[in-house]
Homo-oligomer: A and B are copies of this chain.
Amino acid sequence: MSPAAGAAHGPARTGRTAATKQRLFEAAMELIGQRGADGVTVDEIAAAAGVAKGTVYYNFGSKNELVEQLLRHGMSLLMERLSNGGASPSSDPLDDVRGEIERALGFIAEYPAFVRLWLGEQWRADGAWQGLLTEMRAEVLAVIEAGVRRVAADRPLRARVTPGGVAVALFGAAFVTGMDRAAYHRSRSLDEASEAVFSLVLGTLEPGSGR
């Protein structure tokens, strides 16, 4: 029975296995982030990690499972980052949202490979990870929407503007802005980028309701 069967990616059994898995993880994230899951072969991943092909299967069971763990791992990093490690909320929810946006953009700059993988698969209708991707989207949108609702608790939203709709738009604005920075001009400063995204939040408020 291979250890891949029930093994989550928690603390691995022995040091040797853990190191191998880690190397495979990093190599896979880098390659798949650059060329998409379909565009990378198991051979390449193994070679990049410096192990034999069979080792990938020994550790992950299948290419699909490897990608799935990649997605889960990246997602947990993102959620951790968005929640700011459990820091207490500031006095103005608007500041919290601004912080969230900045942290999201920072995360994208740090893990562009994961985000590219995620967005690249997100819109497929058939992927093997359809369920997981739907979960991920829901989880992120929930966090964003919560932030929007906290803002809306203090200040009225404009007519026809709903927290759910704003959350989706905010998600798109932030992630496309982040990927664009990563792909085309890192020159666009984090400040300029986050200010543009933050505009979306400001624009949802009734004129004259603070700020």
Query: Which residues of A approach B to under 8 Å, CB–CB?
Result: 1, 34-36, 38-39, 43, 47, 115-116, 119-120, 123-126, 158-162, 164-166, 168-177, 179-180, 183, 188, 191-193, 195-204, 207-208, 211
- Residue of B at shortest CB range from A174? B172
Q: Is the CB of A195 within 8 A of B116?
A: no
Q: Is the CB of A165 within 8 A of B195?
A: yes
Counting chain B CB atoms within 10 Å of each CB, the highest count among A198, A203, A211 belongs to A203
- Residue of B at shortest CB range from A181? B168
Q: Is the CB of A124 within 8 A of B161?
A: no
Q: Could you tell me the distance between the alpha carbons of A161 and B180 in the complex, rounded to whole angstroms?
A: 16
CB neighbours (8 Å) of A120 from chain B are: 120, 123-124
CB neighbours (8 Å) of A175 from chain B are: 172, 176
Contact residue among B162, B183, B192, B198 (Cβ-Cβ distance under 8 Å from A162): B192
Q: A175-B172, A207-B208 are in contact. Are A160 and B43 (CB under 8 A)?
A: no
Q: Could you tell me the distance between the alpha carbons of A211 and B199 in the complex, rounded to whole angstroms?
A: 15
Contact residue among B34, B125, B179, B200 (Cβ-Cβ distance under 8 Å from A203): B200
Q: A201-B203, A207-B208 are in contact. Are A180 and B195 (CB under 8 A)?
A: no
Q: Could you tell me the distance between the alpha carbons of A28 and B141 in the complex, rounded to whole angstroms?
A: 32
**How far does the Cβ of A117 sit from chain B's closest Cβ, in whole Å?**
9
